[in-house]
Chains A and B, each alone.
Chain A
Amino acid sequence: MSHKRIRVVLAKPGLDGHDQGAKVVVRAMRDAGFEVIYTGLRQTPEQVARIALEEDADVIALSSMVGAHLSFCRRLKPLLEEAGLADKLWVIGGNLPAQDHAELRALGFEGIFPTSSRLDAICDYIKAKVQ
């Protein structure tokens, strides 16, 4: 009966200081029953990969508002793969223009949640993918 709780590492990549959305999503995930490790601001790709590994994350989530998502994800992808986290669910939310979605998907970010995504939609997606 006892399902292991879904563990999410939610990171703020790079120098982006807009954390209102990320913190709102953390709260929504906790209310949905997930265990969420929020990294805080200024995470490098190396830090995100290390924390995801150490925390035994089922889900690696990024929140990016400043447009630097592609350059960050291109650097993060090989590090997550190296850490053996390729089979985990990678999701990203934030200010993500539609024309970037194909490349994000190609980089392994299967769940893409642009601003104005509903909180329940994010949590339901993760539940469906992880359980």
Chain B
Amino acid sequence: MKRDPTPDLPPRLNESGLAIQPLYTAEDLEASGGLAMLGRPGEYPFTRGIHALMYRKQPWTMRQYTGFGNAADTNARFKYLIANGQTGLNVAFDLPTQCGLDSDDPQSEGEVGRVGMAIDTLRDVEIAFDGIDLEKITVSLTINGAAAIMIAMYLAMAEKRGYDVRKLRGTAQNDILKEFIGRGTWIFPVEPSMRLVGDTIEYCAKHAPKYSPVSVCGYHIRESGATPTQEMAYAFCIAKAYADEVIRRGLPVDEFAGRLSYNFNIFGNIFEQVAKFRAGRGLWAKIMKEQYGATQPGSMWLRMIAGGGGGGLTAEQPENNIVRGAYYALISALSGAQTMALCCFDEAYTIPSEYAQRLSLRTMQLLIEEMGLTDTADPLGGSFYVETLTNRMRDEMERIMAEVDADGGIVRQVAEGRVQSQVSAQAYRRQRDIESGALRKVGINCYRSDEAEPERAVEFHPYNEADARAQIAAFARVRAGRDAAAVAQALARVSADARAGANLMPAVVEAVKAYASVGEITQEMVKVFGRYREPVRF
């Protein structure tokens, strides 16, 4: 019989709803399933890491989310970050581009180049990456609704620069199901959206086999109100839906699964976060091996970018965000992430300044150079607490996934707005808990310093209407200079292939090479697919 040493302590639950004991021992670990799912780094089930030597061989890639104004502005910021030691790029597009609209569309008014860079045609993509070595610096495109077009533009740009597309590495976010849950840059209804994701995976598997066409995002689901275990469970359900879509087309699992990647969030309890990633790695490997019959280790790897933490940052006492960011980076390193990006301390209220972005980079570099985070793989492995929590959280993730599957599956749940409703109800409870003080948030409901704080001169990213007009003028010049007949023919093929049910990527690639615009190509697809209508459900 186990003796509870602290019967009088009030219970403490983590965000995923699991009770946390004041002490963990070998008995607790055994009761949770022991070390059956542990293994060694680089070996199935990869709980301890997907590579044997982890950061000893190569530290994580540093990839701050960046982009604003036009392609030339963004190119300059890219080069600044690379000069400061950044090892990858994470591209922010403006909302018109993300929603498949050209800069001169009436709906784009006031939004061109505001929260990311404006892209109308291949010409802008050429400028954005000019002078950047695409073999040394891998590029991640944060684009979803318009992902097929942006992948085509990126591959076309690389090909024009003389790179062998078959060897080109890089990532597109291209996770449309989570856009319906949170983030909201959807364009087409759910079904054709799924088809487009399938088209990109299939096309890349055949033509750009090193390229990662999808990065499944638990990140934004968490931002929308999901718990850490829901974040992983929903992401896995979504990844499985994409896998099913391409397997249905006859593509063997080992031909594409190795290029699926993930994007996860970090904020909140340190140990819950580390356990989340370790649990997720083991669970994903098990799913791919046992449910999908994957045989290549790469197909079972949970490759991930982890960091961000936007939901944890506060507009109050923004300097605290520098400290929060440092802890989030530590968590990411302790969790064995392949790539790291941190939200900047000023990101709770503006597009990050150059200064804030450099500080985020330095935060990661400090961990590598001074703090010993790259010395050994999975440094928390073997802790009674972390291992027990890892087991418990994996069980919880499996339970949530089974619940989703039993209730119509993730695609249907998203299409009906049910996941959205669930996470939004949780976000509401969380906000109420913060306001009541039940959930402690430093600078908001405790340790406020209203009187002491001077009226701060906050630096905001300037938005310039003239830049938007310049972008529209540049687009007009490209339009005037291109071969109109070739454009018309390429665009006609896009809608024809959409109607015929063919893989759309070859037609899209042809269209972008003719300098057809994001908006024009999207419009061809809309003719066939229609537009998404958001189910408003509370």
Query: Which residues of A come within 8 Å of B, CB atoms?
Result: 14-20, 23-24, 26-28, 30, 38-42, 44, 66-68, 70-72, 75, 95, 97-99, 114-116, 118-120
Interface size on B, residues (CB 8 A): 41
Q: Does B316 contact A (CB under 8 A)?
A: yes
The CA-CA distance from A75 to B106 in the complex, in Å, is 12
Q: Which of A16, A20, A27 contacts B223 (CB 8 A)?
A: A20
Residue-wise, chain B 496-538 has the 8 Å CB interface mask toward A (1 for contact) of: 0000000000000000000000000000000000000010101
**A residues in contact with B109, CB < 8 Å:** 71, 75
**A residues in contact with B427, CB < 8 Å:** 20, 23-24
- The answer to whether B185 and A17 have CB atoms under 8 Å apart is yes
A28 and B428 contact, Cβ closer than 8 Å, known pairs A17-B183, A17-B185, A97-B460? yes
Q: Of B43-51, B110-118, B126-134, which binds chain A?
A: B110-118
The CA-CA distance from A40 to B417 in the complex, in Å, is 12
Q: Does B349 contact A (CB under 8 A)?
A: yes
Chain B binding surface SS class? loop
- The answer to whether B110 and A24 have CB atoms under 8 Å apart is no
- The answer to whether A15 and B95 have CB atoms under 8 Å apart is yes
10 A-B pairs with C-beta separation under 8 A? A15-B108, A15-B111, A23-B424, A38-B536, A42-B99, A44-B107, A68-B111, A68-B114, A71-B110, A97-B458
The CA-CA distance from A20 to B221 in the complex, in Å, is 10
Closest B residue to A14 using CB positions:
B111
A66 and B114 contact, Cβ closer than 8 Å, known pairs A16-B95, A24-B428, A44-B107? yes
Q: Does B412 contact A (CB under 8 A)?
A: no
Q: Does B432 contact A (CB under 8 A)?
A: yes
Q: Which of A14, A26, A67, A114 contacts B538 (CB 8 A)?
A: A26
**B residues in contact with A40, CB < 8 Å:** 534, 536
How many whole Å from A40's CB to the nearest CB in chain B? 4
**B residues in contact with A114, CB < 8 Å:** 315
**B residues in contact with A118, CB < 8 Å:** 435
**B residues in contact with A27, CB < 8 Å:** 424-425, 428, 538
How many whole Å from A76's CB to the nearest CB in chain B? 11
A19 and B184 contact, Cβ closer than 8 Å, known pairs A24-B431, A40-B534, A119-B435? yes
Q: Does B96 contact A (CB under 8 A)?
A: yes
The CA-CA distance from A2 to B538 in the complex, in Å, is 26
**B residues in contact with A71, CB < 8 Å:** 109-110
**B residues in contact with A14, CB < 8 Å:** 95, 107, 110-111
**B residues in contact with A97, CB < 8 Å:** 349-350, 458, 460
**A residues in contact with B182, CB < 8 Å:** 17, 19-20
